[in-house]
């Protein structure tokens, strides 16, 4: 179907060029001067511009799930890099919101757009059906375990977070329960 459209557009463009050539020759009474070829070339450039604009408009900007499943290694690296940049940008926007550099509504809008794009990227990075991929559940469990272990080093007396290897609290000096 796409080939038919391209052939139809090419055929229409050829007919329009031929009609314009006949029109220019008729206007010059079939005795063209040096300006006639420039008129024809100008008309051809306008038609080429319209042709490429028509092709650009037909491009679907929404990603289909089938297209996302076929991510090659180079595209995967680019998506991973973009994901890292988006996560960093989300953290920066949250930090700016905390420092009141951004309005809460403005920060929420920015963070929402970043998160939506990050979700698209995560879906694109999911393994194709039937192919083994990363076990995201195990990765989440590992990360959660690390975060819970880091929370164990919070002083019960003052609530100050301490280093994982700390035996005594930085804030009040009491002995930590995990040491």
| pLDDT (tens digit per residue) in 147-156 | 766 666 778 7
pTM above 0.75, yes or no: no
Cα atoms in the 13 Å half-sphere on the side-chain side of 66: 0
Could you tell me the sign of the dihedral formed by the alpha carbons of 3, 5, 6, 8, in that order? positive
What is the model's pLDDT at position 66?
A: 47
Would you kindly state where each structural domain of the chain is located, as residue ranges? 2-58, 65-133, 144-179
Ranges 26-40, 52-66, 118-132: which has the least confidence: 52-66
- Chain position carrying tokens 């929370």: 151
Tell me the pLDDT tens digit for each residue of 68-87: 445 677 788 888 888 899 99
What is the model's pLDDT at position 67?
A: 46
CA distances from 89 to 73, 113, 134, 140 (A): 24, 11, 24, 21
What is the model's pLDDT at position 88?
A: 92
SS3 54: helix
What is the model's pLDDT at position 61?
A: 57
DSSP category for residue 39: H
What is the model's pLDDT at position 135?
A: 67
| Residue in 90, 130, 131, 132 with CA at minimum distance from that of residue 112 | 90
Tokens of 78: 């680019």
Task: Count the Cβ atoms, other than its own, within 10 Å of residue 23.
Answer: 13
Q: Of all residues in the chain, what percent carry a pLDDT higher than 70?
A: 81
DSSP category for residue 166: -
Helix (H) or strand (E) segment spanning residue 157: none
């Amino acid at each position: 179907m796409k080939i038919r459209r391209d052939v139809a557009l090419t055929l229409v463009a050829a007919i329009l060029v031929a009609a314009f050539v006949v029109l220019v020759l008729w206007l010059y009474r079939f005795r063209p001067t040096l300006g006639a070829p420039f008129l024809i070339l100008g008309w051809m450039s306008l038609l080429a511009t319209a042709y490429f604009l028509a092709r650009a408009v037909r491009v679907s900007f929404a990603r289909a799930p089938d297209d996302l499943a076929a991510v090659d290694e180079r595209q995967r690296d680019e998506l991973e890099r973009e994901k890292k940049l988006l996560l960093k940008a989300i953290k920066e926007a949250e930090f700016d919101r905390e420092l009141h550099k951004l309005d809460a509504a403005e920060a929420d809008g920015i963070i929402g757009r970043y998160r939506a794009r990050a979700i698209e990227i995560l879906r694109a990075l999911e393994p194709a059906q039937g192919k083994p991929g990363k076990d995201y559940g195990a990765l989440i469990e590992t990360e959660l375990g690390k975060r819970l272990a880091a929370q164990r080093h919070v002083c019960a007396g003052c609530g100050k977070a301490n280093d994982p290897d700390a035996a005594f609290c930085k804030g009040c000096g009491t002995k930590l329960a995990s040491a």
